[in-house]
Amino acid sequence: MNAAADLVPLTQLINENVRATPIGAVDQLAADLTVRIAAWVGANVLPRTPGLAPFVTAVDVERQRQLAKFGDQRHPDMAGDCTVQCDARLMFDEWAEQYRQINNGAIDARDPDRRLDWTGILLEEVYEALAETDTAKLRAELVQVAAVCAAWISDIDRRQPEAER
């Protein structure tokens, strides 16, 4: 991601407004720019998914807390030698498949409550991520884990009054 390149449309918007403003209309220029920049930020920076902005803010606050407490951490994706990693990934792949089957309706016949639940959805995604060996695919799986967490939190927030959160 190139931050300077990402701001080119905003820079163009500002330049267009400055060039179109008659001399002496500075107050109007400031008001116009405020409205247009707010609209641009709303369309290009803020999350578009309903309820996602509070989740992103909460994650940012937590990441800031973690950075203050632990600093910028660097760890391997999975520790252990090749045999340990291969065995663990095989186990995680099997667990992901079990949760995939459960999430697709293969629920224990003895369970009277046969609804899909957030626990199963999240665990399927987590185990898929843990089973992955390719870094790009691992990243994609972790994004899916984060998206499920966002959806779960959004669901919690919709069913709880704000005072209880």
Judge contact between 29 and 21, C-beta under 8 A. Answer: yes
User: What's the confidence (pLDDT) of residue 3?
Assistant: 54
* CA dist., res. 64 & res. 48, Å (int): 23
What 3-state class would DSSP assign to 144?
A: helix
CB atoms within 10 A of CB 116: 12
Angle at 125 between CA 151 and CA 92, to 5 degrees: 155
CA-based Rg of the chain, rounded to a whole angstrom? 23
Domain spans, the chain: 3-44, 52-164
Q: Cα–Cα distances in Å, from 38 out to 13, 32, 46?
A: 12, 10, 10
User: What's the confidence (pLDDT) of residue 109?
Assistant: 72
Judge contact between 122 and 152, C-beta under 8 A. Answer: yes
The pLDDT tens digits of the residues spanning 6-56 come to: 667 777 777 777 777 777 676 777 777 788 887 877 777 778 888 888 888
8-state DSSP, 84: H
The pLDDT tens digits of the residues spanning 88-124 come to: 999 999 999 999 988 888 777 777 777 889 999 999 9
